[in-house]
């Protein structure tokens, strides 16, 4: 079995893998996401949301892969990043309650596209691949009171787009077109294809 390292602190991403039979080692990266985004946009002013999340995932993955102990069994490193796109604008993590409230007033009753970028490197060979998955969403028409109550839970503050599909925010997503894992932050069908591109079969990373 090939060990898999998840370059993320997200418990939701880890749970997705575990439900599919993969038991990852988690190693969060310490990259400055804002700095990575600025550099990516400076290099490519026309960078779209899907391209941005791939760049963010790459930076996280390279940080973890470059610091992995050489003497350890060479694992497969998987890194991810997600953003919500609304009306052509990228919506990241709000961090602050007043920002989350404003985000929800913007997206309620409307649509958006959740993009998740994924970067994978096989440390045994050095081979790397990256790709993005996108899922379209339609949001419920929340009242101001509902928005305030949801933001008060704290859940929306540190998640892309200020909502979750697998937690308290799930009643507020009325339509989902695409892979739900993309919205959680990791598309397993895409990950399987990416592993195959590197010559790693899915059941090589699944615990048996």
pTM of the model: 0.92
For this structure, is 81 an active site residue? yes
Show the tokens assigned to 196: 């195959």
Is there a contact between 20 and 188 (Cβ–Cβ < 8 Å)? yes
pLDDT digits (tens, 9 = 90+) for 58-100: 999 999 999 888 756 789 999 999 999 999 889 888 999 999 9
**How distant is the alpha carbon of residue 179 from its chain centre?**
13
pLDDT at position 72: 67
pLDDT digits (tens, 9 = 90+) for 123-181: 999 999 999 999 999 999 999 999 999 999 999 999 989 999 999 999 999 999 999 99
Q: Which of 32, 48, 73, 81 is catalytic?
A: 81
């Amino acid at each position: 079995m090939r060990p898999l390292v998840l370059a993320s602190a997200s418990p939701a991403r880890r749970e997705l893998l575990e439900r599919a039979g993969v038991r990852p080692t988690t190693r969060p990266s310490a990259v400055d996401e804002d700095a990575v985004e600025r550099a990516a946009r400076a290099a490519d002013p026309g960078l779209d949301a899907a391209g941005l999340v791939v760049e963010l995932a790459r930076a996280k993955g390279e940080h973890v892969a470059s610091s992995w102990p050489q003497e350890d069994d060479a694992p497969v490193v998987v890194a991810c990043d997600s953003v919500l796109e609304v009306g052509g604008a990228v919506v990241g993590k709000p961090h602050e309650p007043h920002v989350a409230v404003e985000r929800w007033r913007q997206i309620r009753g409307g649509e958006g596209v959740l993009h998740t970028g994924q970067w994978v490197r096989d440390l045994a060979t050095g081979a790397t691949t990256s790709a993005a998955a996108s899922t379209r969403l339609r949001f419920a028409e929340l009242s101001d009171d509902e928005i305030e109550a949801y933001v008060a839970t704290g859940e929306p503050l540190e998640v892309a787009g200020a909502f979750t599909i697998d937690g308290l925010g799930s009643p507020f997503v009325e339509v989902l077109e695409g892979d739900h894992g993309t919205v959680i932050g990791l598309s397993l069908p895409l990950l399987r294809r990416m592993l195959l591109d590197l010559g790693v079969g899915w059941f090589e990373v699944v615990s048996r």
